[in-house]
Amino acid sequence: MSGKTSEWWSYGILSEVAFYVLLYYGEMLLKVDGNLWWSALVLWVLANIAILSCPMLRKCSK
């Protein structure tokens, strides 16, 4: 992999981890019942699916 590609991947992974942590922290502040790790994971997956599958959200995220 070239330097730009590996840099892009590292920023992409870092931003996804930060988004997951934000979801987890938001659920913790809202005192969500249940397992916060799993519920944050479900929200993370659903948000990523929405961004990838919805043309309007995909256009805004680029």
How confident is the model over 2-25, as a mean pLDDT? 86
Residue 41's pLDDT is: 93
52 by Cβ neighbours in 10 Å (0-12 / 13-18 / 19+) ranks as: exposed
Residue 58's pLDDT is: 66
How confident is the model over 15-30, as a mean pLDDT? 94
Q: Is 62 helix (H, G, I), strand (E, B) or coil?
A: coil
Identify whether the C-beta of residue 58 lies closer than 8 Å to the C-beta of residue 52: yes
Residue 23's pLDDT is: 94
Residue 57's pLDDT is: 66
| pLDDT reading at 42 higher than 80 | yes
d(CA 34, CA 1): 41
d(CA 53, CA 55): 6
Identify whether the C-beta of residue 23 lies closer than 8 Å to the C-beta of residue 40: yes
Q: Higher pLDDT residue, 20 or 62?
A: 20
